[in-house]
Amino acid sequence: MQTATIAFDRFNQLHDDACHERIRAARARLGEQAVLLGHHYQRADVYQYADLTGDSLKLSRLASQADAEYIVFCGVHFMAEVADIMSKPHQKAILPDLAAGCSMADMANLAKVERCWRELNEVLDAEEVFTPVTYINSAADLKAFCGEHGGIVCTSSNAATIAEWAFAQRPKILFFPDQHLGRWTGYTMGIPLDEMMVWDPDLELGGLTVEQIHKARLLLWKGHCSVHQMFQPAHILKFRNQHPDGLVIAHPECSFEVCKQSDYVGSTEHIVKTIKEAAPNTRWLVGTELNLVNRLAEEVKPEGKIVHFMSPTVCMCSTMQRIDPQHLAWTLENLAAGKVVNQISVPQHEAGLARLALERMLAVS
């Protein structure tokens, strides 16, 4: 028999040390019933408990392969949706704090994307001309939209591979919600900047002329990551002036100008791999989320490598920060008591279409 839900109020004022004790005790009671997935951007006091870690692509694969009854996602809402979509019917995806969202994902919603599609149909036959591609940092209904319209999902790890697939289907791409990842991907594929247009969903025809829509090979949704927009070319210039032998690596969610001035550009997995495999005693400037950079700096310090955070301003994924020891302890104690809390459940029809787009991605990448 299930017990009553343990109220979060009992945990909200708990000291972190007490939370950690209760997390360890609840995990021991759960055993293999639960698996914890942790994104690279997760705060250190929660990340330490993750059984499996990685970027969005890796975690998508891991979610589809997990055997545990409970998939506890220490990340943000869209990641837990992916876990629910890709997991087995008996499994339950759980997000310790339902307020852990993604500001970028919120910049594109289904109503606006469908209106964009209708407006494109007034200019061209969208179904024949555009392949819709959504970044994994998006809601499940946008993944379902792509599944329904012959589109696909991408991550920062596989964006170029996915774009090649998309262009093989149709001559143009509608890419949402992150314009910067889309632009950098197009640039690395040799697409001229004047053939990549920004679609502003709050303006008629995205603020574009009919001629611009005809010319564009890649339509970029007007969206961005609030963390990665903090990094500026001036930060790179200052670093290079102070450390001429230093190396710069940035995430493709950074602006085009930052990516252009970096020595390396890639996903979080790429950033971690590149720096870990670099020669000892090298110095790096890194343009991505602070928790990852701090963790990486500590891991490579014994090799004499020095890792700098690109921005002088502290900027981290504030919504992912909501997954704290208090929420994790509350979640695990409820599960250990037989009560499921904060389950993420994507409607069946929507999940089926979204799974189609995700499975296309996994097959292609």
Q: Rounded distance, CA 136 to CA 105, Å?
A: 9
Q: Rounded distance, CA 82 to CA 354, Å?
A: 9
May I ask the CATH class of domain 9-100+319-346?
A: alpha beta
Known binding residue 56? Answer is yes
> Using only C-alpha atoms, what is the Rg of the chain?
21
Known binding residue 308? Answer is no
Q: What pTM value is reported for the model?
A: 0.92
Do 205 and 219 touch, CB atoms closer than 8 A? no
Q: Where are the domains of the chain?
A: 9-100+319-346, 105-225, 228-309
Q: Which pLDDT belongs to residue 1? A: 41
Known binding residue 156? Answer is yes
Known binding residue 137? Answer is yes
Q: Which pLDDT belongs to residue 136? A: 93
Q: Where are the beta strands (DSSP E) in the chain?
A: 34-39, 52-54, 70-74, 92-94, 130-135, 152-154, 172-176, 196-199, 218-221, 247-250, 264-265, 283-287, 306-309, 343-344
Q: What share of the chain is helix, strand, coil (3-state, %, to 5)?
A: 50, 15, 35
Q: Rounded distance, CA 169 to CA 187, Å?
A: 20
Q: Which pLDDT belongs to residue 10? A: 82
Known binding residue 136? Answer is yes
Do 68 and 33 touch, CB atoms closer than 8 A? yes
Known binding residue 268? Answer is yes
Q: Which pLDDT belongs to residue 2? A: 52
Amino acid identity of residue 263, one-letter, is: D
Residue 118: how many CB atoms within 10 A of its CB? 10
Beta pairing class for 306-309 and 283-287: parallel
Do 101 and 318 touch, CB atoms closer than 8 A? no
Q: Which pLDDT belongs to residue 130? A: 98
Known binding residue 157? Answer is no
Look at residue 253 and give its three-state secondary structure. coil
Known binding residue 155? Answer is no
Same-fold call for 9-100+319-346 versus 228-309: yes
Known binding residue 19? Answer is no
Q: Rounded distance, CA 326 to CA 2, Å?
A: 22
Q: Rounded distance, CA 265 to CA 124, Å?
A: 34
Alpha carbons within 13 angstroms on the beta-carbon side of residue 230 total 17
Residue 261: how many CB atoms within 10 A of its CB? 19
Element (H, E) at 93: strand 92-94
Per-residue pLDDT of the chain (365 residues; tens, 9 = 90+): 456 788 898 888 889 899 999 999 999 999 999 999 998 888 889 999 999 998 776 877 787 788 899 999 998 999 999 999 999 999 999 999 999 888 888 999 999 999 999 999 999 999 999 999 999 999 999 999 999 999 999 999 999 999 999 999 999 999 999 999 999 999 999 999 999 999 999 999 999 999 999 999 999 999 999 889 999 999 999 999 999 999 999 999 999 999 999 999 999 999 999 999 999 999 999 999 998 999 999 999 999 999 999 998 766 676 777 899 999 999 999 999 999 999 999 999 999 999 999 999 999 98
Q: Could you please report the per-residue DSSP string of 125-172?
A: -HHHHEEEEEESSS-HHHHHHHHHTT-EEE-TTTHHHHHHHHHHHSSE
May I ask the CATH class of domain 228-309?
A: alpha beta
